[in-house]
Amino acid sequence: MTTTVSLVEHPEASTASPACTAQPSMVVRAEQAIAAACAQLGRCLQQLGPHFPGDTSKGNYFAPAVWPEEPAGVNSSWTAGFWTGLLWMAHELSGEARFGTAAAAQLEGYSSRLERRFVVDHHDLGFLFMPSCVAALRQGPQPLAHATALQAAALLMTRYLPRAGVVQAWGRLEDPAQRGRIIIDCLLNLPLLHWAAGQGGAAEMREAAIRHAQRSREHLVRPDHSSFHTFHFDPETGAPLHGTTAQGASDQSCWARGQAWGLYGFALNHRWVPEQGFLQTACQLADHFLALLPEHGIACWDMSFPPEAGEPWDSSASAIAACGLMDIAEQLPAAEAERAQAYRQAADRILDGLLRHCAGWDAPGNALLRHGVYSKPDGLGVDEASLWGDFFFLEALARRARGWTPFWHPPAALNSRPIPPSTSTPV
């Protein structure tokens, strides 16, 4: 039986922590959480061995992925890159060779997946190849990883529909049900095109990424700064048609993870092309997200529901949003220091809630972040952990504790060496 998490089950989550209660600083708490997370990842790695886990946990335990007519643990889903990325991240944060060794051993599988064209008829090639192959380049020259990432970007470009100015999200390009459809998640796949354009790939990759982000800003973002999950265009004329959802409560609702993808995605695209002004859109989406976020910091799976509705949480949406809020704060100009600080404080509030109520190491299981939702309408991964939830939770902790540079950032910003624990004065 699937259980759900609500304020009824967690009455303590209905109020904020008392301001007068002495608490360790968030830097200290995040540093402690990194140690706990890396230990938990080590246990999960030991249990999985060379196998890739499934998209979501079962009872907060990840098990080897299952795919029809394929061996258990095959690199098959759009989420596989998050597992390899978690291993690279743990290697950088802990300095433990076992994580880097495991991640490096998976790289050839990404090349083979491209050669087979195995489950790559979608736009999530950025999610697959940025945290795996591009991340590997932080450890030094990696010819196979570099070539594989460039090939993945070239494949992603085949999904670009120039007349519509968008990268098609799902399905084969000739599929009439999916042709011309985009989803808000794609904003985090566009950095692969920007990266490849700077690594000898076609200049058209950068132009396509910019145009897709522009079209997303024009049509995925509503006037009230909520967002559609998906939007449909006429692929031949480029005419905008209508917005829909696949995982939200309704076509007109605000799916929490989509709103989080949007605020982080526009912030990341601003890093690659700051002249496009995507940071303003990121701020607008962030403000709407925060306006609907419960005080405890954990988003309901769809933000059209009030907290008292008792609907399941999606902790992964909050983890993604925390990363986005920190990214926005880092990029705001000095003249907006007060606004940047407000976003940092909001990210801290979210991390506080996640650490208090969702940390995987505080309960049986091998996951990092409990109480997520994959797709509530489909009954998938409800009140479970997810690979993307674990990934962005650890990313948020690493950024807060150590100023760690995410895999999604331009190469000039990347730190190629493992980062030791912070010795600076906690703030």
What does the pLDDT look like over 261-289, one tens digit per residue? Answer: 999 999 999 999 999 999 999 999 999 99
Angle at 407 (CA atoms; ends 255, 303), nearest 5 degrees: 10
Residue 18 has pLDDT above 50, yes or no: no
12: tokens are 């303590």
Beta strand pairing call for 166-167 and 160-161:
antiparallel
Mean pLDDT of 23-48: 96
Q: Which residues are catalytic?
A: 124, 185
Mean pLDDT of 333-337: 98
Scanning 65-202, the segments in alpha helix (DSSP H) are 80-94, 97-105, 107-116, 125-129, 135-136, 143-157, 190-197
What does the pLDDT look like over 205-226, one tens digit per residue? Answer: 999 999 999 999 999 999 999 9
Mean pLDDT of 171-181: 94
What does the pLDDT look like over 277-334, one tens digit per residue? Answer: 999 999 999 999 999 999 999 999 999 999 889 999 999 999 999 999 999 999 999 9
Distance CA 324, CA 305 (A): 22
Q: How confident is the model at residue 13 (pLDDT cuts 50, 70, 90)?
A: low
DSSP state of 373: -
Q: How confident is the model at residue 23 (pLDDT cuts 50, 70, 90)?
A: confident
Task: Identify the pLDDT of residue 307.
Answer: 87
Mean pLDDT of 344-373: 98
Mean pLDDT of 96-115: 98
Task: Identify the pLDDT of residue 24.
Answer: 87
Mean pLDDT of 364-370: 98
Q: How confident is the model at residue 49 (pLDDT cuts 50, 70, 90)?
A: very high
76: tokens are 């098959």
What does the pLDDT look like over 381-397, one tens digit per residue? Answer: 999 999 999 999 999 99
Compute φ and ψ for 64, nearest 5 degrees: -55, 140
Percentage of the chain beyond pLDDT 70 is 91
The Cβ-side half-sphere exposure at 146, using a 13 Å CA radius, reads: 13
How does the average pLDDT of the chain come out, rounded? 92
Mean pLDDT of 15-35: 76
Count of Cβ atoms closer than 10 Å to residue 400 Cβ: 24
**Which region, left, alpha or beta, applies to residue 119 given φ > 0 means left and ψ of -120 to 50 means alpha?**
left
Residue 19 has pLDDT above 80, yes or no: no
What does the pLDDT look like over 59-103, one tens digit per residue? Answer: 999 999 999 999 999 999 999 999 999 999 999 999 999 999 999
Percentage of the chain beyond pLDDT 90 is 89
